[in-house]
Amino acid sequence: MVKLRARCLLLGDAAVGKTALSHMFHNDGTLFQKNYSMTAGVELLMKCVNIPETSDSVELYLIDSAGKQTLVEACEKMWGELSMLCLVFDLTSEQSFVNCSYWMERVRAHCQGLHIPGILVGNKSDLTARREVQASVAQEWAQSRGMEYHETSAKEKENCDALLLSLAQTFHSLYQERRSAIQNLSPG
Amino acid sequence: MIDPPLSSLGAKVVVVTSGDEEHPPENIIDGDSRTFWMSTGMFPQEFIICFAESTKVSAVTVDSYNVKHLKIEKNTSRYASQFESVTEKEFEHTDGHLQSNSISLNGSSATHLRFIITSGYDHFVSVHRVSVPQLPS
C-alpha cells in the first residue's frame, strides 16, 4: 500500500471553468456554481483518489490559479513546487485552446527543468452547438506532449470522475516507474 | 572498517513523512544500501532516527538518490521534539548510481537525529542508508 501526494496546478484562460471543475471534484458533483465569480488569487483543495485494483491512493492537492492575465504573475508565487499540471480550455473558445501553449511554456519556465506530467481538459462539452475546438485536434495536441486528453462538462457533471482518476493514475505510474528505476540502481 | 548497521545498535526510525509498505523506513538503518525508503511526493520530507542512548556523533554518511538539499537537526531529549539545527548540505545530482555524502556533525551528543529533505532533483527521492562511523572507545 502506498499513499502518494501530488501538488496539481489547474491552469488555463479565465472563465474556462477551472473553479467549477475543482468544486465538482471537491463535493463529488453535488453542486455546480451557477454564478460566475472570477478567481483573483489561488485556491487550494484536497481530494484523495483510490487507484482501482490496488490498495494505493493519491492525495491530490489541487491549486486553482487565476487565469486572468494581469493576475498571473502574483499567483505564480503561490504555485510552489508542482507535481502535476491540469491544463483546462473552453471547447467553445478557440482562443482558450490556442493559449494552452502559452500556459505550458509558463509552467515549464516555473519548474526549471523538472518534468511535470499533465493532462489536457476541454471543458463545457454540454455546449455542443457552440463548439469551436474539435476533439481530434485537441487529442493530437495533447498526445504530442505526452498528455492524456479528456472532455468534461462541469455543469452536467460529465466525466469529472474520469478526470480525477486520470490525474491520479498519471502520478501513480510515474511513481512506479521511478521506483523500479531506483531498484535497479548500482551502489554509489 | 565497516560500520555496524544502526539497527543492530538499537536505533530506530521513529518518524517518517512518506510510506510505501514495500520500502519501509527500517531500510534506512539496516546497513544495506540495496534496500531503501522512498518519498511518495512533494517536499519537504523528513525522518527521525532515535538512538538507544545518547550517542556521540562525529559524522553521518547518507546514501541516497535524487536528494538535493538536506538539513540535519538533533536533540538530547527522550522525546522527538525541540530540535536544534546542526548543519545543512546541498547534494550533487547523480545519474544511474547512488549519492554518497559524508556530513560532519562536530562530535556532539544526540539521542535523536532529524533529517529534513527540503528539495529533490525529481518528484521522488530515496534514502538507502544512514550510518554513523563508530568512534574509538
Which residue ranges form the domains of chain A, and what is each CATH number?
Answer: 3-173 (3.40.50.300)
Phi then psi dihedrals of residue A139, to 5 deg: -60, -45
**pLDDT greater at residue A26 or residue A3:** A3
Q: Grade residue A125 by pLDDT with cuts at 50, 70 and 90.
A: very high
With respect to residue B46, please indicate whether it lies within any of the assigned structural domains. yes
With respect to residue B31, please indicate whether it lies within any of the assigned structural domains. yes
CB atoms within 10 A of CB A185: 18
Average pLDDT over residues A148-158: 92
Q: Which of A68-72, A95-99, A119-123, B131-135 is predicted least confidently?
A: B131-135
Contact B126 A182 (CB under 8 A): yes
Residue of chain A nearest B19, judged by CA positions: A2
With respect to residue B137, please indicate whether it lies within any of the assigned structural domains. no
- Give tens-digit pLDDT for A17-72: 999 999 888 777 667 777 888 888 898 999 999 999 999 999 999 999 999 989 99
SS (H, E, C) A12-81: CCCCCCHHHHHHHHHCCCCCCCCCCCCCCCEEEEEEEEECCCCCCEEEEEEEEECCCHHHHHHHHCCCCC
B136 touches A at CB < 8 Å: no
Statement: residue B137 has pLDDT above 60: no
Q: Give the residue carrying C-alpha cell 471543458.
A: A123
DSSP annotation string for B13-57: EEEES--BTTS-GGGGSSS-TTS-EE--SSS-EEEEEEEEEEEEE
Contact B33 A83 (CB under 8 A): no
With respect to residue B17, please indicate whether it lies within any of the assigned structural domains. yes
Contact A188 B36 (CB under 8 A): no
Contact B97 A186 (CB under 8 A): yes
With respect to residue B68, please indicate whether it lies within any of the assigned structural domains. yes
**pLDDT value, residue B107:** 81
| Minimal CA separation from A84 to chain B, in Å | 10
Statement: residue A161 has pLDDT above 60: yes
Average pLDDT over residues A138-147: 97
Partner residue facing A179 (CB), from B38, B42, B96: B38
| Minimal CA separation from B124 to chain A, in Å | 7
With respect to residue B83, please indicate whether it lies within any of the assigned structural domains. yes
**pLDDT value, residue B135:** 62
- Report how far residue B116's alpha carbon sits from residue B65's, in angstroms, rounded to the nearest whole number: 14
Statement: residue B46 has pLDDT above 70: yes
DSSP state letter for A139 = H
**pLDDT value, residue A113:** 86
Partner residue facing B40 (CB), from A61, A81, A175: A175
CATH number at residue B109: 2.60.120.260
Q: Which of A1, A3, A5 to mutate to test the interface with B (most CBs of B within 10 A)?
A: A5
Q: Grade residue A187 by pLDDT with cuts at 50, 70 and 90.
A: low
Contact B99 A178 (CB under 8 A): no
Statement: residue B41 has pLDDT above 90: yes
A81 touches B at CB < 8 Å: yes
Query: Which range marks the domain in which residue B63 is found?
Result: 6-131
Contact predicate A70/A18, CB 8 Å = no
Q: Reply yes or no: is the peptide bond before residue A117 cis, omega within 30 of 0.
A: no
Contact A114 B97 (CB under 8 A): no
Side-chain-facing half-sphere of B93: CA atoms under 13 Å: 6
Q: What share of chain B is helix, strand, coil (3-state, %, to 5)?
A: 5, 55, 40
With respect to residue B1, please indicate whether it lies within any of the assigned structural domains. no
Partner residue facing B97 (CB), from A58, A179, A188: A188
